Amino acid sequence: MEEDEGEELLQHNQRLLQSIFGDSDDDDAPADATIWQPIEGIDGLWLCNEFLTADLQSDLLVAIEKEGWFRDETQNQAMRFGDLPNWAHVLANRIRETAALSGRPYPIPDHILGRDPLFDQLIVNSYAPGEGICNHVDLMRFEDGIAIVSLGSPCVMHFSTVDRSAAPPRRVPLMLSAGSLVFMSGEARYNWAHGIDRRPGFQIWHGLEIHQTRRISITLRKLCISTQ
């Protein structure tokens, strides 16, 4: 690539990132105060409730809309490998930066925090009210360290122990609000399944039913080298 062309592309990308996420020195820049909360009883499970400001959430929704993945209403999932959209790189950087700023114990173990790229695979899911996802442990073709960002409707995700011989089996609910980030590694990634109840009327938090609208989730993962 010619030098001018490279410079032009760089400027184009910077303008694009600015249009999606604004200037890096504005209020949307990750603050030291972004709070990562360890989830009691599940090693390696962390929740960052206010990971994205309201403005960043709407910018991200617009960026996803522009991808055109869900123009056809029968489509509810999009996947990308390797070449991720710019907004996904910005998200990944924000995850790395806020985790590094959060102090010890770090929500993301060093060997994951320091890898490059942090993620190279993306899934965007779109859920209508009453839709969910079966309990699952992510495939072993993905490395440790999985991030899920939530946009739109809140929902309750359940984490359940996968080792049925481990007595007693456990099921832990976690409220995922708009703009939140969940990060799982180690125990949480390998020994717990996660899922979202599918039936309408089954999104209950502290005894109250959550009002459901459309929810968009962004899952970021890294493929194991041997499967690339």
CB of 146 to ligand AKG, least distance (A): 8
Name the token pair of 115. 């890898």
Residue whose CB is less far from ligand AKG, 104 or 190: 190
Task: For residue 108, give the nearest of 30, 100, 32 by alpha carbon.
Answer: 100
Q: DSSP secondary structure string, 64-104?
A: HHHHTTTSSTT--EEEEESS--HHHHHHHHHHHHHHHHT-S
Beta pairing partners, 175: 156
CB of 152 to ligand AKG, least distance (A): 11
What DSSP character marks residue 54? H
Task: For residue 13, give the nearest of 63, 84, 86, 65 by alpha carbon.
Answer: 86
CB of 16 to ligand AKG, least distance (A): 26
Chain residues binding ligand AKG by CB under 6 A are: 123, 125, 133, 138, 148, 194, 217, 219
**CA-to-CA dists, residue 215 to 21, 158, 212, 218, angstroms:** 20, 16, 8, 10
CB of 120 to ligand AKG, least distance (A): 16
CB of 133 to ligand AKG, least distance (A): 5
Angle, vertex CA 69, rays to CA 60 and CA 150, nearest 5: 40
CB of 217 to ligand AKG, least distance (A): 3
Residue whose CB is less far from ligand AKG, 16 or 177: 177
Residue whose CB is less far from ligand AKG, 140 or 167: 140
CB of 156 to ligand AKG, least distance (A): 11
Residue whose CB is less far from ligand AKG, 90 or 176: 176
CA 51 to chain CA centroid, nearest Å: 10
- In whole angstroms, what is the distance from residue 92 CA to residue 119 CA? 7
Residue whose CB is less far from ligand AKG, 29 or 79: 79
- In whole angstroms, what is the distance from residue 112 CA to residue 220 CA? 13
Residue whose CB is less far from ligand AKG, 123 or 210: 123
Residue whose CB is less far from ligand AKG, 15 or 198: 198
| Half-sphere exposure (Cβ direction) of 222: Cα atoms closer than 13 Å | 18
Give the CB-nearest residue to ligand AKG: 217
